[in-house]
Structure 1
């Protein structure tokens, strides 16, 4: 018996020593990264991570990033990326140790990393032990993961605050619960900064080749400002950054019977508030139009979310609601009675994809829009694959015709369980790689003239310096080390800005001139002037 106790004590001592050594090595790796930005929140974390990394790269800062969204990616300083390998395909916060080790090998100026923890205790460990961020981002508080962080939205807000850096800075675009975030930030001696979405103009938003929100851009601009990157330089870096695979997108197709179809992939926004916000933005921009049809993809492990998607149908007011996946009844029963006759159960997991796609496309009108909501996994992935096989619609926009008469609703019981279909480690399509390939050279931008007499957003933070570890490579710059352009180069750039070249509807463009009123910053409770 004494021998067994001795073995137990020796093994415990070995594990303890190994843990201490691993932690010390990890902290040394963290010290090689002067600025660490941890992005947390409910919706849009992956997009904000890419926007922040793009903005800092535009300012000539060596930046490494890592996302954990639709497909986890490690993004190198040259904007190339690769899938994050996970043993047995299981995500674990411990993988952040390896990410930090790889990032430290570049001796970067900044690491922008998405928080992958959901449980409140893990969020705190992710901040205090794994990342130890100097700048935190808390993008928003939405109705999701209530079982882990809820049950109320106030509880979700306080849970997310566990990722705030003690003695650091946190940037947020959350307005409704700003007072709760401020209370939690004060308890952690953390300075909370509000990124006002109204400071981002519509012209600046149109410069992106994909759909994003002013809140996301405002947060990335504020992070770039804290690190001394000028606004126009940061915007250009964000325009050049490749989007996330799960980013909001709209495609135009021609069906086999020559019907025109605009398809919006809104699977990534899988909470009710974000879903409505995404669809309303697409309608306002004219990217989709009515008559509108909705596809709800159901999952057996997201029954509550299936019902939430059914409850928002009256606010979307679609012509038809197609329900795929399992259990379809969880979404159909949540649709209010006045709209339930518009629901069409396409048979769930038991029905062959070719069969349910034929039924879906056959019920559409000659010129309609289709919006996919819920969750992408399972039948949602098959839907995207079959739509991608349709020919693209390159014809000019026409006035939408009247929708066809609605056929009677058919309900089919489904029993087959959900099986993942998306491979998170597969490479991007060749067209995606070609379109968003990194540039071989970094463009030089003329610095923006700044009048010290004019107010400047968050002027007290212009001299922000991250804590410089002992033995670091070089002092941290207070401004971007960008060489000034020659006079003739500056004239050529100005001429290019005044006479923009023709471009497509959502093609990238050079950043527009800074609006005169963008220098006014206000608290979320004040009226925007």
Structure 2
């Protein structure tokens, strides 16, 4: 068995994965806005773009709430899709609860023992970029960079129990992900965060309440974050965030 990610962004390329692999089951994790320049701004636009990855007559696992979406039902009828609604696994962080439920639905369809699969998934070590709260000197960083959309980021923030007024947002920007910055920008401005600090590439233009950190090494970033609470979001594997996480876990920070 093999599990692969369809990492195509362009809608025109979405269907190649299904064409080449003829998957036994496809997993559609969500239709939350992302890559707006390619997919459009709304959930229906996202579903329309990603629908090309769903082979006609195929099987697709989706979150239970998406299975009830009228647009998803219409798509399933048009493409003769067998839809597997996936329930969230209780007692886990939001991202694990949803993703593990989807994985379990796929395993169940493949005839695997549900109990053994769930037990095995719960025993897996955390992903390298998985969400957790890091101690950074006298401060804390909620490492949510791996959440690509605002809704998931908001869920992870709420799981900390922190007050927005006491929390700064640390957004890691990539110049080739300007559409992602646009999605997050309104959310960052709409709430009463203590401050908003952008790292990585300089954003398209300076915005009110958003400061740009010009850069430095991982220890310089740690000193900038020291003594306060921060929510990290944006992009994971780019620049300093993942280096900061690994350095914190290895005890190598020099403040």
* TM-score for the superposition, normalised by structure 1: 0.43
Q: Partners of 1:124 and 1:379 in 2: how far apart?
A: 34
Residue by residue over 1:488-514, the C-alpha shift from the partner in whole angstroms, topping out at 9 and shown as x without a partner, is: xxxxxxxxxxxxxxxxxxxxxxxxxxx
Given the alignment, which residue of 337, 346, 355 partners 2:213? 346
Change (3 A) 1:329 1:114: closer
Unaligned runs of 5+ in 1: 1-109, 393-529
Q: Name the counterpart of 2:184.
A: 309
Alignment length (residue pairs): 251
Larger CA Rg, structure 1 vs 2 = 1
> Which structure has the highest strand share of the two?
2
Residue by residue over 1:262-303, the C-alpha shift from the partner in whole angstroms, topping out at 9 and shown as x without a partner, is: 3221111132222212222333xx8x9983222122222233
Q: CA RMSD in A?
A: 3.0
Query: What aligned pairs does 1:379-394 form with structure 2 within 5 A after superposition?
Result: 379-381=240-242, 383-384=244-245, 387-388=248-249, 390=251
Change (3 A) 1:178 1:325: same
Unaligned runs of 5+ in 2: none
* TM-score for the superposition, normalised by structure 2: 0.82
Given the alignment, which residue of 218, 221, 244 partners 2:101? 218
Matched, 1:264 2:142: yes
Is the 1:169–1:193 Cα contact (8 Å) retained in structure 2?
yes
Matched, 1:193 2:53: no
Q: Partners of 2:196 and 2:83 in 1: how far apart?
A: 42
Q: Name the counterpart of 1:369.
A: 229
Is the 1:322–1:360 Cα contact (8 Å) retained in structure 2?
no
Q: Name the counterpart of 2:32.
A: 142
Q: Partners of 1:390 and 1:320 in 2: how far apart?
A: 27
Change (3 A) 1:268 1:316: farther
Q: Name the counterpart of 1:274.
A: 152
Q: Please state whether the residue corresponding to 2:4 is helix, strand or coil.
A: strand
CA displacement at 1:172 relative to structure 2: 0.3
Q: Partners of 2:149 and 2:7 in 1: how far apart?
A: 18
Is the 2:61–2:84 Cα contact (8 Å) retained in structure 1?
yes
Q: Name the counterpart of 2:225.
A: 360
Q: Please state whether the residue corresponding to 1:161 is helix, strand or coil.
A: helix
Q: Please state whether the residue corresponding to 2:30 is helix, strand or coil.
A: coil
Given the alignment, which residue of 2, 5, 16 partners 1:125? 16
